[in-house]
Amino acid sequence: MPLPLAADTRDRLSTDRFGRSMRGFETVGSTNERAAQWAAAGAPEGATVLTEYQTTGRGRHGRDWTADKGRNLLFSVVLRPTLPPDRFGLLTVAAGVAVAEAIEDFVSPHSAALKWPNDVLLEGRKACGILLESSLAPPNTDAVVVLGVGLNVNQTDFPDALADTATSLRLASGRPVPRPPLLARLLRALERRYDAVQHNGAGSVRGAFRERLAALGSSLSLRLPGTDETLSGTVQGITETGALRLRTADGVEKTVHAGEVTTRR
């Protein structure tokens, strides 16, 4: 039996590719894993795996991603970018901008901010995480990237460990949010921003990310995973590869890549 959320979303799509091939599941281990398997079997670009619940959902650095069943949007999109691998970070930048843009009509008058590299915030709390996983293919074949999105939509309760840092569209707006039109809008925004970074529009995407990053203030502290070492400075922008430009207190400009650090609030 088709997943109702997938069927309802298909009727609302305005994309060229994203979501046009879609598989919906009540429960999976991880949508990224399912999407990677589908990609290996020849899934077209834009193929989307959607679920109501993940048993082994994950975020960056192997962290767990937990979400109540049937209340949120948990999906992954197969990408086959023409960008060189050292620019794959731009895909996360583009996805963050797209999610922020897509949700704003549903949470008005609130605005979505971005926390580099992969979080979307509402009122200073995390509403969405983005996980990019790539498979560098053998020579003469295309690289495959899976873009995973976990968006808190109608969840109203969170585990104690997340209660002070997580939120949802419903909590921010004070009203329930219909998921099929939201997902259709998300896929359209993702496709548009993804195409932009591949076709001479990367500068505008980086600028849009920087504007939403500025909503959090220009100062940022970063922590090296697995250590107590921190790096603090003033945000200078996003590089052409999607890395963060940070100027430290002693005036030195650092370029920081997403895999090297985690952000601190």
Provide block-wise average pLDDT over 10 residues at a time, the chain (265 residues).
87 97 96 95 97 76 64 97 91 96 94 90 94 68 88 93 91 96 98 96 93 71 71 83 85 77 46
State yes or no: cis peptide before 109, omega within 30 of 0. yes
Q: Is the same domain home to 190 and 170?
A: yes
Structural domains of the chain, count: 2
The answer to whether the CB of 130 falls within 8 A of the CB of 232 is no
Kindly state the tokens that stand for 7.
Answer: 């069927």
| CATH code at position 76 | 3.30.930.10
* Distance of alpha carbon 72 from alpha carbon 11, whole angstroms: 19
The pLDDT value recorded for residue 152 is 96
Q: Is the same domain home to 169 and 236?
A: no
| CATH code at position 260 | 2.30.30.100
Q: Is the same domain home to 172 and 239?
A: no
Q: Is the same domain home to 146 and 175?
A: yes
Residue 224 belongs to domain spanning:
217-264
The answer to whether the CB of 121 falls within 8 A of the CB of 216 is yes
Q: Is the same domain home to 115 and 38?
A: yes
Closest by CA position to 131, among listed 223, 54, 192 = 54
Q: Is the same domain home to 247 and 124?
A: no
Q: Is the same domain home to 230 and 191?
A: no
The pLDDT value recorded for residue 218 is 66
Q: Is the same domain home to 180 and 250?
A: no
Q: Is the same domain home to 169 and 255?
A: no
The pLDDT value recorded for residue 224 is 65
Q: Is the same domain home to 101 and 85?
A: yes
Closest by CA position to 18, among listed 198, 190, 182, 134 = 190
The pLDDT value recorded for residue 67 is 74
The pLDDT value recorded for residue 250 is 86
Q: Is the same domain home to 67 and 148?
A: yes
Q: pTM, whole model, 2 decimals?
A: 0.88
Q: Is the same domain home to 115 and 238?
A: no
